[in-house]
């Protein structure tokens, strides 16, 4: 999207350089099971400023005093966790890059989460791109005046808080073997905290412990990467560990309820040039005549599961729980990244950290490239120049 940077990068690119880049990325870690794209994204200043403005509009809604009230129904009754804190520690907003009516590049909100993303891996990824390719210093993967030292300091404050690193752990069902485990390992290297599978944590009274060298060590704070949807059909797993829905003496980073509050559920409340028209399906009184321009999404799913792209009236009539679905105007991505064999669509995730008692701070970003019908691994399995990457944004 910055023509001079794109031309410079494509001229230096070789398959051999890409293989070397992946080897460097995995050096000291396990093999990365998801596809990393062949290129970063070069984001011009005008688009960067629109991405920042779009994020600010969303944050203004989240900071409204009534935000918890209007999103209370987002939390499934079976998965409401006690002792929710005042704010999420993470905000991630995914924008498809499109063209507006004036023909300018413009972001359109696709997804939003009050849940952590690849906050450590993205720094490692950007550094590795710079190490293996000639990336111009007039661009930066950090935003808002951050550099690596300032970023790690804030990341440490958000994750560890007032505790010692050994009292804090990244937790997921089978943390060491998750698809995004590379982020866990880079986080551990960056912050010195533990990586624990759910079953490695035991409950004693209201307190949680893990064992190391024969000693029981109390956990004070959990960097939560467990998505309840992934264990909803297997709650027996909690019997060998602990149930997050119990009353516990633990601090959550971030509290599980925020996964639901800041999600597709929030989108109908947003009115912006950067947000596609979105309505709860049970509030749609008349089916649009141009239904081919809409997409139907379940509220409680992740990674694009259950989305109906080519929606029909019959699809809508079959849904028995319309309050749990949204009807959203389709976003038309522009193929703005030039690969050796044509244009590629891009999605950019703006990533914020929100320390306890502080303000949300835009720090860095993630990008995903796609040639398929949707952004996501399952839709891009047979292509190259697709997958996860990072945006280098014009200063």
Tokens standing for residue 46:
């005008």
Report CA 236 to chain centroid distance, whole Å. 28
Q: What percent of the chain has pLDDT over 90?
A: 89
Q: What is the pLDDT of residue 304?
A: 60
Under the banding of pLDDT at 50, 70 and 90, the label for residue 374 is low
Judge contact between 217 and 194, C-beta under 8 A: no
Helical packing angle, 121-132 and 15-26, nearest 10°: 140
- Phi and psi, residue 51, nearest 5°: -60, -45
Residue 171 to residues 199, 219, 222, 224, 345, Cα–Cα distance (Å): 10, 11, 7, 5, 33
In the predicted model, what is the mean pLDDT of residues 145-149? Answer: 98
Q: What is the pLDDT of residue 381?
A: 61
pLDDT in tens, 13-49: 999 999 999 999 999 999 999 999 999 999 999 999 9
pLDDT in tens, 213-261: 999 999 999 999 999 888 888 888 999 899 999 999 999 999 999 999 9
SS3 248: coil
Q: What is the pLDDT of residue 157?
A: 98
In the predicted model, what is the mean pLDDT of residues 258-284? Answer: 95
For the chain, where are the E strands, in sequence order?
41-43, 90-99, 105-113, 139-140, 168-172, 194-197, 202-204, 207-212, 215-219, 221-224, 251-253, 278-280, 294-298, 325-329, 337-339, 342-353, 361-370, 387-389, 391-394
Q: What is the pLDDT of residue 378?
A: 55
Indicate whether 138 pLDDT > 90.
yes
In the predicted model, what is the mean pLDDT of residues 164-190? Answer: 96
Residues 6+ apart with CB under 8 A from 93: 54, 55, 58, 109, 111, 112, 349, 350
Closest CA relative to residue 259, chosen from 279, 244, 240? 244
pLDDT in tens, 288-336: 999 999 999 998 776 567 889 899 999 999 999 999 999 999 999 999 9
Q: What is the pLDDT of residue 234?
A: 85
Pairwise CA distance, residues 250 & 373, whole Å: 42
Pairwise CA distance, residues 284 & 269, whole Å: 14
Residue 319 to residues 119, 263, 306, 322, Cα–Cα distance (Å): 36, 20, 12, 6
The ranges assigned to domains in the chain are 3-276+331-394
Pairwise CA distance, residues 214 & 349, whole Å: 42
In the predicted model, what is the mean pLDDT of residues 362-390? Answer: 83
Closest CA relative to residue 40, chosen from 109, 146, 137, 125? 125
Pairwise CA distance, residues 282 & 284, whole Å: 6
pLDDT in tens, 45-96: 999 999 999 999 999 999 999 999 999 999 999 999 999 999 999 999 999 9
Indicate whether 372 pLDDT > 90.
no
Pairwise CA distance, residues 113 & 255, whole Å: 12
Pairwise CA distance, residues 126 & 135, whole Å: 10
Q: What is the pLDDT of residue 230?
A: 83
Which of 8-12, 160-164, 346-350, 373-377 has the weakest average pLDDT? 373-377
* Cα radius of gyration rounded to whole Å, the chain: 21
Q: What is the pLDDT of residue 201?
A: 97
Indicate whether 377 pLDDT > 60.
no
| DSSP 8-class letter at 308 | B
Question: Regarding predicted confidence, which is higher, 246 or 373?
Answer: 246
Judge contact between 95 and 274, C-beta under 8 A: yes
Q: What is the pLDDT of residue 176?
A: 92
Judge contact between 265 and 299, C-beta under 8 A: yes
Q: Which residue do the tokens 């804190």 mark? A: 85
């Amino acid at each position: 999207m910055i023509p001079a940077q794109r031309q410079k990068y494509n001229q230096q690119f070789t398959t051999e350089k890409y293989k070397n880049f992946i080897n460097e990325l995995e050096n000291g870690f396990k093999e990365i099971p998801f596809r990393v794209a062949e290129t970063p994204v070069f984001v011009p200043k005008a688009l960067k400023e629109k991405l920042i403005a779009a994020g600010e509009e969303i944050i203004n809604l989240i900071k409204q005093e009534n935000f918890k009230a209007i999103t209370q129904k987002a939390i499934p009754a079976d998965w409401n966790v006690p002792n929710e804190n005042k704010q999420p520690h993470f905000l991630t907003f995914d924008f498809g890059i499109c063209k507006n009516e004036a023909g300018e590049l413009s972001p359109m909100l696709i997804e939003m989460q009050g849940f952590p993303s690849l906050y450590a891996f993205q720094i490692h990824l950007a550094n590795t791109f710079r190490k293996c390719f000639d990336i111009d210093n007039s661009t930066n993967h950090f935003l808002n005046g951050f550099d690596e030292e300032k970023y790690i300091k804030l990341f440490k404050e958000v994750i560890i808080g007032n505790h010692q690193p050994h009292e804090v752990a990244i937790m997921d069902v089978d943390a060491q073997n998750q698809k995004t485990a590379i982020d866990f390992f880079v986080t551990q290297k960056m912050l010195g905290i533990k990586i624990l599978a759910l079953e490695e944590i035991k409950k004693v009274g209201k307190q949680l412990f893990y064992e190391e060298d024969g000693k029981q060590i109390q956990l004070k704070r959990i960097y939560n990467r467990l998505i309840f949807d992934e264990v909803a059909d297997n709650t027996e797993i909690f019997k060998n560990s602990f149930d997050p829905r119990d009353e516990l003496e633990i601090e959550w980073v971030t509290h599980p309820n925020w996964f639901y509050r800041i999600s597709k559920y929030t989108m109908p409340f947003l009115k912006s040039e950067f947000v596609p028209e979105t309505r709860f399906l049970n509030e749609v009184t008349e089916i649009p005549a141009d239904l081919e321009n809409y997409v139907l999404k379940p509220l409680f799913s992740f990674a694009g599961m259950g989305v109906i792209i080519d929606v029909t009236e019959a699809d809508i009539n079959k849904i028995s729980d319309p309050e749990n679905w949204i009807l959203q105007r389709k976003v038309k991505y522009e193929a703005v990244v030039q690969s050796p064999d044509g244009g590629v669509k891009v999605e950019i995730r703006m990533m914020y950290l929100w320390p306890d008692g502080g303000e949300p701070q835009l720090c860095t970003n993630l990008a995903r490239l796609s040639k398929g019908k949707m952004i996501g691994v399952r839709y891009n399995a047979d292509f190259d120049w697709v997958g996860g990457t990072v945006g280098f944004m014009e200063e």
